[in-house]
Structure formats: structure tokens, C-alpha cells
Structure 1
């Protein structure tokens, strides 16, 4: 069950409307780094979370928060479009197509949404849910969430640096702060699940003796001269991050045979020479 009181989570104000910045803000709504992505990701992770219910509750609360962020950004988009200077609106009225395209505006915001935000990215491409990661493995999901918040914070910082509007900077500084918290939140959850040594490799329920152990901690090089020195690093020597092995490095040699699929089947549409 969800509740709303109609108020924004944080104040949204625009001192000087900027329709082009409205388009940029759409990336934070419907882009792959945006708020729809994380809201739906945390929601579906929560719906499928098994085990200790505190992880489900945490995920559902954060998903709900992200819905509030969508509301804030959608309001910011509308204010940046609705409050455009009269001179800009007059230019659009003279030649709507050319002025919008040359000005970098998103036509969908005007034609399909009446100067409002939409569930699309900055190019007007609808968010299609293909970047929602909810695996049913709580440690894998927490790891995916760290990446989601990291790319989201990167986008918010870029947006912050794109605008000189004090109101927009204030709103974005709040969203950046929440991204900071959420990165730390997911890392804290991973720590509670055992950290690198307890949670990894994911899933930790699979017995490692069933792996091909020679390859579990080997960094494989594919340079034509069989050298791995040029790409050596922490990942190629010393104890593994999960504490269950030691990194090694070696050039990879082919272990399989050259594929031979045999003859094509009759009536398969192949050439006679293939049969």
C-alpha cells in the first residue's frame, strides 16, 4: 500500500525557465541512469525478496522515496517548460518545428504532454524496463544497486554543472546527497550479508568445489604475444577479494576443439553442398 500527501519531498523552484535544461532533466527521469529505473528496480527486488524481511522493507521504502524523486523532477521539467520567456514562445509560434529542433527541445514534451514531463529520456525514447535488475539473490541485487546509484549520482552531478539556476542547483544537491546515502546504504547491506568474504562469490550457496578451480581466481590474458604483464594489477596477484583463493595470471590457450556442426538437415533451407 502506498500513501501520498500531495507535497514534494524537497522544494522545487525554477528562477529562470530553461526549456533545454528541461530536456536534460528527462534523462534523470527516464534515462537508464534515472529515477524510474531505480524506483522499479528496488520495487521488484522488494517484491521478490526472501529471507529476513528487513531487506524487503528497506527496499520498498527506498523504492517509494524514488517515486518522490520522479515527482520532483517531473515538476522541475514542467516549470522549466511552462515558464519559458515570452520571447522564446513567440519564436516557437513563428516556426514550431525548426525552432524546437534548433533549440534542442524535446518535441514530445510539447506535442504529447502539453509542456509536461514524460517517462522518456532526454532524446524522447521511452523507458522500457530493460535495465531493471531484480535477481532474487539479495547480495547480487545490492551489488547492482550500488552501480545504479553510482551512475545516477554521476548523472546528477553532470546536471548540476549544466545549470546556473539556483533553484535547480539546490534540488540537485539534495538528489546528489540522497545518492550518496543510497550508495552507502547498499554497501552497508552487503556488509551485513557478510561483505566481500561472506557474500562473494555470489551466490555463496553454490559449493566452490564444483567449479573448475584452476580458473576460479585466474586472470586470463588474450594478447597475441601471450604476455599478461602489461595488464597486471591487484586482480592478477595476491589474495582474492573473497579471501578464498589467490589471484594468478596466465595467457589463455584454447582448450576446446574447432567447432564442426556436421551436415545440414534435409528440408532445412540449406544449400545442397551443406547436406
Structure 2
């Protein structure tokens, strides 16, 4: 059950409407770094959550908050489109700066949505749900969520730097702050699970006898002309899960066979020469 307040989660104020910035804001709504993505990701993770009920509640509450972000970003798009020209005549009647703005805005904001937001990215491509990650493994999902929030905070920071509008900067500063919290809360779940060392390898419930452990902790240098990068992951450091020691291998002989499927089967549509 969802309930809705008539008020936005955060005030949206646009001092100088900018149809081009409305196009950029679409990325925060329907881009792979955007709010539709994280709202649906947390929602589906919550619906599949098993175990500690707190984590399901946490996911559902944050999914609902992300819906609130879609709502006020959509309002921001509409406010930025308020003075967008609706016709060639209207555009011609305004100065060259407005004409340039018309040239850079998304025409579908006029043609398809009547000067309002759409579930698309900055290029007008609809969000297709292909970036929703919900594995049913709490550790895998939390790491995916922290990465999603990191990408969202990168985007919000870039949008902040692309506008001089004080109202938009204020709204984006709120989004940047909430992305900070959401990064922290997902990583805090990993800490509650015993920390990254205890969570790894994911899934940590896989029996060790199911894993060819002799291959678990070496870095494979596949370059013919570059040396192995120096780092903890190559020079004998302990693995983060505490189960092994990092080593490196160079120019190793392949362990598999040369693939050969043999002749084609009759009736398979192959050429005579393949049979």
C-alpha cells in the first residue's frame, strides 16, 4: 500500500526557466543513473528480500523516497519548460538566445508531453528497466545499490555544475545529500552483516568444495606487452575475505581445448561442404 502527500519532498524553484536544462534533468529521471532506476531496483529487491525483515523495510522505504525524487524532478522539468517556444513564429518573435535554447531542447517536450517530464533519458530514450539489479542476495544487492547511488551522485554533481539557476542548485544540493546518505546506508548493511570481509566472496554460503580454489586468488595478466600492474591484488597481499593470498600470473598456457564442433548435421541448413 502506498500513500501520497500533495506536497513535494523538497521545494522546487526555478528562477530562470531553461528548456535545455530540462532536457539534461531528464537524465536524472530516466537515465541509467536516474531515479526511476533506483526506485525500481530497491522495490524489486524489497519484494524478493528474505531473512532480516529490517532490510526489506529499509529497501521499501528508500524505494518510496526515490519515487518522491522522480516527482520533484518531474516538476523541475515542467518549470524549466514554462517559457519554451511552442511554434516557429513564437520562437522567431523572441531573441536569438531563446532561439538557441529552442535548438537545444528536446522537441518531444513540446510534441509528446505538453511541456512536462517524460520517463526518458537526456537523449529521449525511454528507460527500459534493463538496469534493475535484484539478485535475492543481500550482500550483492547492497553493493549494487552503493554503486547506483555513486553514479547518481556523480550525475547530480555534474548537473549542479551545468546550471547557474539558484533554485536548481538548491534542489540538486538536496539530491547530492540524499545520495550521500543512501550510499552510506547500503554500505552500513554490509557492516551489519560482519563487514566486507565476512560478506565476501558473494555468496558466502557457497560450499568451498564447489570452488576450484587454486584459481581463486591470482591476477591474470593477459597483455602481451604490458607488465603486471603493481598493487595489493598482485603482490602477495591477503585477500579481502581472508581466505587467500593475492598472486599474479603472466603469459600462462590456456587450460582448455581448441574448440572444434566437427561437421554440421544433415538438415541443419548448412552448406554441403560443412556436412
TM-score bracket for this pair, using the shorter chain length? over 0.9
Q: What pairs up with 1:199-214 in 2 under 5 angstroms?
A: 199-214=199-214
| Distance of 2:93 and 2:260 partners within structure 1 | 65
Q: What pairs up with 1:1-275 in 2 under 5 angstroms?
A: 1-84=1-84, 90-91=90-91, 103-224=103-224, 228-229=227-228, 231-237=229-235, 238-251=237-250, 252-275=252-275
Deviation at 1:88, TM superposition (A): 9.5
Change (3 A) 1:218 1:270: same
| Distance of 1:258 and 1:142 partners within structure 2 | 39
TM-score normalised by L of structure 1: 0.93
Secondary structure at the aligned position of 1:246 is classed as coil
| Distance of 1:15 and 1:118 partners within structure 2 | 22
**Paired residues, number:** 269
TM-score normalised by L of structure 2: 0.93
| Distance of 1:9 and 1:172 partners within structure 2 | 13
Secondary structure at the aligned position of 1:125 is classed as coil
Deviation at 1:200, TM superposition (A): 0.6
**Structure number with higher helix proportion:** 1
Secondary structure at the aligned position of 2:79 is classed as helix
| Distance of 1:235 and 1:263 partners within structure 2 | 44
Secondary structure at the aligned position of 2:233 is classed as helix
Change (3 A) 1:269 1:118: same
Deviation at 1:210, TM superposition (A): 2.2
Deviating 4+ runs (over 3 angstroms): 83-89, 99-102
Secondary structure at the aligned position of 2:246 is classed as strand
Secondary structure at the aligned position of 1:214 is classed as helix
Alpha-carbon displacement from aligned partner over 1:153-175 (angstroms, at most 9, x marks no partner):
00000000000000000000000
Q: Is the 8 A contact 1:13 1:168 kept in 2?
A: yes
Secondary structure at the aligned position of 1:173 is classed as helix
| Distance of 1:210 and 1:29 partners within structure 2 | 42
Q: Is the 8 A contact 2:85 2:91 kept in 1?
A: no
Deviation at 1:69, TM superposition (A): 0.3
